[in-house]
Amino acid sequence: MRVNGINYRTIWMKDSSVFMIDQHLLPFEFKIYEARTYKDSCNAIKSMRIRGAGAIGAIAGFAMAQSFMEAPKNNFRKFIEKAKLEIESTRPTARNLFYATERVFNYAIKSENPILSAIFEAQKISDEDADASRKIGEFGNDLIKDGFKIETHCNAGWLAFVDFGTALSPIYFAHQSGKNIFIYVDETRPRNQGAKLTAWELQNEGIPHKIIPDNAGAYLMSQRKIDMMIVGADRIAVNGDVANKIGTLEKAICSKEFDIPFYIAAPISSFDLNCRSGKEINIEVRNENEVLYQTGLNEKGNLQKILVCSPCSRAFNPAFDVTPAEYITGFITEKGIIKPEKNEILKLFACS
């Protein structure tokens, strides 16, 4: 992704620090944040300075590598095991996080040079994420026809992964291949990842789009103004149920009602073969202040946080919901497009 004429990945590691695009400040300011220790990386995940399934997986892998570099010689394994649990406690729903910590830990702990092995494996996970996202874009492009109007939810674009993204990757490839497309961007309350991040990405790529209220999707579908929906995923159960940003379930139900294709774009690392159905997915509940307060630019051009709800009222803030497989048209993966069925999902892993 190019920003101000420079190619960036969302996240990368240099020496012992992890660098990332600070998503707290977008779209108003583009800035790089440095996490010097694994605890800094944990805080970046918790605070959603970095977010999105693939990006969380990448930083989790890098954080594991940081813990190997920071571990004292006389208490090495105990330090690493404690760090692993701490990293995994930051965001419980995203499968990619656990996928990365498990891979780095298991690969490096058995190595003769665990520090170098941890760095190597973390970088490999990051590179694989970017490659998978690119392939998802290539496969997904085949589903998009010239003139399509596509609705998205949350941000499953470049910022949510190391590069390219998942739900937005087919859109980028379609645009680059010359197709005339238009994107309706769900604002995605309460953190407005659609209005802030997806819209910023599309604007940066010169792709025509409009931001819409979350509750406008059904109306647009009823008016036949949506040709397909593409969203991402934070965890996919072996039966095809999907955990994704809160509000995804509503969009899937509406899509089925109006016979609109509803696709999930996700890499294999988001599939959890140990999770039998969506009922087993741990849904993260975040701080109520994300609902009660909003942050934006004031008239002086400064970022300001203000209360936007009734004073003294409380809020409930689940970060994700689960969409049953029956509402999903198909999964766009780096291995191709498959149906949301257990046997199809198992085939993915058999040939990977």
3-state secondary structure of 236: strand
Residues carrying an active site annotation: 234
Rounded distance between C-alpha atoms, residue 135 and residue 157, angstroms: 14
Rounded distance between C-alpha atoms, residue 153 and residue 166, angstroms: 12
Residue type, 189: R
DSSP 37-95: SHHHHHHHHHTTSS-SHHHHHHHHHHHHHHHHHH--GGGHHHHHHHHHHHHHTS-SS-H
Rounded distance between C-alpha atoms, residue 134 and residue 199, angstroms: 20
For residue 194, report the phi and psi dihedrals to the nearest 5 degrees: -70, -55
Task: Assign 3-state DSSP to the chain and report helix, strand, coil percentages, each to 5.
Answer: 45, 20, 35
Beta bridge partners of 245: 320
Handedness of CA 284, 20, 268, 135 (dihedral sign): positive
Strand (E) or helix (H) holding 99: helix 95-109
